[in-house]
A and B are shown apart, each in its own frame.
Chain A
Amino acid sequence: MNIGSGSLVTVPSSTGSWKSGDIVSDQFPVGLRVLVVDDDPTCLRILEKMLRNCHYEVTKCNRAEIALSFLRENKNGFDIVISDVHMPDMDGFKLLEHIGLEMDLPVIMMSADDSKDVVMKGVTHGAYDYLIKPVRIEALKNIWQHVVRKRKYEWKDNNFDQSGSVEEGDRQQKPSEDVDYSSSANEGNWKNSKKRKEEEEEVEDRDDTSNLKKPRVVWSVELHQQFVQAVHQLGIDKAVPKKILELMNVPGLTRENVASHLQKYRLYLRRLSGVSQHQNGLNNSFMGRPDTTFCTISSLNGLDLQALAAAGQIPAQNLATLQAAALGKSATKSAISMPLDQRNFFSFENSKLRFPEGQQQLNNSNKQIDLLHGIPTTMESKQLANLHHPSQSFMGMNMQVNSTSQHNNSVLMRLSQSQPRTQLLNGANNGSQVSRLPLSMQQSLSPVLTQSGIVDNARGSVYNPVSQASSMVDFSVNQSKELQSYNFSLGSNSSGLSSLTNRGMLQEEVNSDIKGSRGFPSNYDIFNELQPKSQNWGLQNDGSTFDTSLHPCMQGTQDVSSQLLLQQGISSTHNSGQNRNAPIEKPMYSNGDEIGHSNTMCGSQLNSGGGNMLAVKAERFPDADYQNTNIREQFGRDDLMSAFLRQQASVGPVETEFGFDGYTLDNLPV
């Protein structure tokens, strides 16, 4: 709402002011919509908290596949993605490629691995930045600049005529405005700059007649085939949009369409050639998996090697600039030979690019183009089948290259650019993607996503609830039965799922329940409260405790009741001293596993007594009974500390399963 006092339009961040088409918030970059992907739950939680403290809207995800689904389902739902490099289900670089081509969002990579080759890999795959773990909040505060920068360059690139027309020369002046964005506190400046830029863009739009609002081009397989043929004919280095357009001779297609598509195509080729370096010698090892990503070529032309070798010296901090520079270069190829250490080896084992044996291409300048003809696509094989297309390469190309960011519609870049879209294919993909998700994922998706809006609302931030609900309606409807059936499974090994669904389904209840539980009750209260509840724990006891792999994307977090953690802390440490009924190989912290895992549930259980019928009982709390009786005996005392120490001292073999002997606490100032 405009307030007549002269202040700028203020829209609270919770209304998603970063979404395309919305009024820009005064409080940029507040509300930046971040999707963070990391399989490590600890890191994920920390990152989420950090991003929240930066006033971003955070969605967290522990599986790359789920992240991709999120992104596909919410085309305009995110501004930026932060992803870990090493993830079990999908390599971070592969995710990066997918996102870059399908959604065209800026992606920031993270890793504890700071070796140069991995960082370089991030560069060549188009990462907008590379953060070394452990990540500090300062590093996250400035990620919004990547969003802005990307949109600026995209806009510029889409108008960039390869033949170097004069009218676009003045647009090169835009980057100088980036200087203003370096400070994340420079909000007012940003706003003014943005408005200015918008005006400039509009003026230039009108100047360039072909840029007026025209329908988006869907780069169909046939169209792309024509494009590739034209490029091939001209030679990759000589292929300029005007000539390509002429060769293609497609009515209604504009030079801008072609230019933008060419840009993406070149980027795609660049990535191919960069990644292919890793594949030398690994060809035979990675043919097994059905899903494929970009095909890689095992041989590169000399241009690529030199360009990248030169670029190889640039440190990680300049990643963004390097990437921008790389985009500007027409012949830049990413082709340094990187040593493969074992970790990369294994992190890639599932996502290694497949090269059909016949793809050993020759050293000619057109070989990269030739490769596309037979390249397996980035799409999963199931998607491929779904589309029923024999010629895989073009579909892949379409998928990768043609999807462009919906974020180009943001306020900043509200342009009538001819962004090629793959709405058609994306739709098909979405459908296939949805239908093909493993059941666990589908289940995990629905509770999370249906709850997401609610949870976030409770926190005062909104994760696009409307679109969420609408897009995920199918999930929830279809899956509700299965979900319900899991809620009360006792001791089943699918308890991972049950806990997962519990968590998701009950998040909102837990939220409200937990609120009243803050505070620090006395020891007596803690244990008195805890004791009766512990009885429930004995009900579930089974071997499987590893359910982190099913951990869904979660909106918001649960603030764990302190009593709960105290309990789990004590009981878990007492695991060690007791003669356990459970098999030795059970993780020592199994109690903590369940509790920690179901923080929300337990918290609510404690707080609401009998009133809350939360299906927490489906959670497994193994081995708690006898341990808790010990606790009861020993901790009905004044001095918690001394009691605790006494407990420790009375323990013989401390960690039976770990083979410790008489381990005692030391250096405890009491």
Chain B
Amino acid sequence: METNNIHHLRRQVANLRQSLFDQGYVDEQFIELEELQDDATPNFVEEVVTLFCKDSARLIHIIDQTLENHPVDFAKLDNYMYQFKGSSSSIGAKKVKTKCTQFMEYCRAENVEGCKRTFQQLKEEYTTLRRKLEIYFQYARQVGPTETASCTQSKSVN
């Protein structure tokens, strides 16, 4: 029998999750991850997001460095950002992916300022996403695995 506390938590988890979609932080690929979660890997989504964050840290770092070089190696930047975009899209990080695409456009235009500006925005988006996901996972873990599984209601993603 669920206590009010748990019930309240469940609702919060659901709200958190829905807001991730409603605000465009994640897209349907995130649901794909949720659907992969099962008894064998009850924290799969979190595990994958963790992997993503770890790899992203590396990429962000190296992109930062590359942006500071003179002259800027746009081909390298494009390559790194392509990787970043790939992993972002694999977890459904919608806003981050959009920033990646913008960055790559600036790269191809060899626009250093555009790249730097966009990268700044990208990092902000990335940080926001990470925080939101962390909070979401914290809550989700408290209420148990069932809550994080994709419910039919949440399939209606923007």
Whole-angstrom distance between the alpha carbons of A586 and B58 in the complex? 9
Pick from A14-22, A251-259, A340-348, A448-456 the stretch touching chain B.
Answer: A340-348
Question: By the criterion CB–CB under 8 Å, are A589 and B53 in contact?
Answer: yes
The residues of B that contact A655 with a CB separation of less than 8 Å are: 123, 127
Question: By the criterion CB–CB under 8 Å, are A345 and B57 in contact?
Answer: no
Contact flags B127-144 to A (C-beta < 8 A → 1, else 0)? 110111011011101111
Interface residues of B toward A: which range? Answer: 35 or more
B120 at the binding interface (Cβ < 8 Å): yes
- Per the 8 Å Cβ criterion, residues 316-344 of A in contact with B are 342-343
Contact flags A599-624 to B (C-beta < 8 A → 1, else 0)? 10000000000000000000000000
B54 at the binding interface (Cβ < 8 Å): yes
Question: By the criterion CB–CB under 8 Å, are A566 and B137 in contact?
Answer: yes
Whole-angstrom distance between the alpha carbons of A557 and B42 in the complex? 13
B48 at the binding interface (Cβ < 8 Å): yes
CB-CB under 8 A for A597 and B54, given A520-B142, A559-B41:
yes
Which residues from chain A sit less than 8 Å from chain B, CB to CB?
Answer: 39-43, 45-46, 49-50, 53, 86, 112-113, 133-134, 136-137, 342-343, 345-347, 459, 518, 520, 522-523, 545-546, 548, 557, 559-560, 562, 565-566, 568-570, 572-573, 576, 585-590, 592-593, 595-597, 599, 640-641, 644, 648, 654-655, 658-660, 663, 665, 667-670
- Per the 8 Å Cβ criterion, residues 9-36 of B in contact with A are 12, 15-16, 19, 23, 29, 32-33, 35-36
Question: By the criterion CB–CB under 8 Å, are B86 and A345 in contact?
Answer: no
Whole-angstrom distance between the alpha carbons of A418 and B33 in the complex? 45
Question: By the criterion CB–CB under 8 Å, are A342 and B108 in contact?
Answer: yes
> Secondary structure of the B side of the interface?
helix
B124 at the binding interface (Cβ < 8 Å): yes
CB-CB under 8 A for A588 and B75, given A133-B89, A520-B142, A669-B16:
no
Question: By the criterion CB–CB under 8 Å, are B19 and A40 in contact?
Answer: no
Which residue on chain A has the smallest CB distance to residue B46? A565
Whole-angstrom distance between the alpha carbons of A343 and B65 in the complex? 19
The residues of A that contact B36 with a CB separation of less than 8 Å are: 46, 49-50, 53, 137
Residue from the list A42, A342, A669 in contact with B91, Cβ < 8 A: A42
The residues of B that contact A46 with a CB separation of less than 8 Å are: 33, 36, 48, 90-91
Which residue on chain A has the smallest CB distance to residue B143? A520
Which residue on chain A has the smallest CB distance to residue B47? A560
The residues of B that contact A518 with a CB separation of less than 8 Å are: 42
Question: By the criterion CB–CB under 8 Å, are B51 and A596 in contact?
Answer: yes
Question: By the criterion CB–CB under 8 Å, are A42 and B124 in contact?
Answer: no
Min C-beta distance of A113 to chain B, whole Å: 8
Whole-angstrom distance between the alpha carbons of A562 and B87 in the complex? 22
Whole-angstrom distance between the alpha carbons of A595 and B131 in the complex? 17
CB-CB under 8 A for A669 and B75, given A46-B36, A112-B89:
no
B99 at the binding interface (Cβ < 8 Å): no
- Per the 8 Å Cβ criterion, residues 73-103 of B in contact with A are 74-76, 78-79, 82-83, 85-87, 89-92
Question: By the criterion CB–CB under 8 Å, are B131 and A665 in contact?
Answer: yes
Question: By the criterion CB–CB under 8 Å, are A133 and B86 in contact?
Answer: yes
Question: By the criterion CB–CB under 8 Å, are B141 and A562 in contact?
Answer: yes
Question: By the criterion CB–CB under 8 Å, are B78 and A346 in contact?
Answer: yes
CB-CB under 8 A for A593 and B79, given A43-B86, A566-B137, A585-B64:
no
Give the one of A40, A346, A644 with max B CB within 10 A. A40
Residue from the list B51, B107, B132, B134 in contact with A570, Cβ < 8 A: B134
Question: By the criterion CB–CB under 8 Å, are B41 and A49 in contact?
Answer: yes
Min C-beta distance of B107 to chain A, whole Å: 8
**Known pairs A518-B42, A545-B57 / 5 extra A-B pairs, C-beta < 8 Å:** A50-B36, A134-B32, A559-B42, A566-B138, A659-B120
Question: By the criterion CB–CB under 8 Å, are B47 and A45 in contact?
Answer: yes
Whole-angstrom distance between the alpha carbons of A419 and B149 in the complex? 49
Whole-angstrom distance between the alpha carbons of A654 and B126 in the complex? 13
Min C-beta distance of A668 to chain B, whole Å: 7
The residues of A that contact B42 with a CB separation of less than 8 Å are: 518, 559
Cβ contacts A to B, 11 pairs, < 8 Å: A42-B51, A45-B51, A46-B33, A112-B85, A113-B82, A545-B58, A548-B54, A566-B138, A597-B54, A644-B138, A665-B132
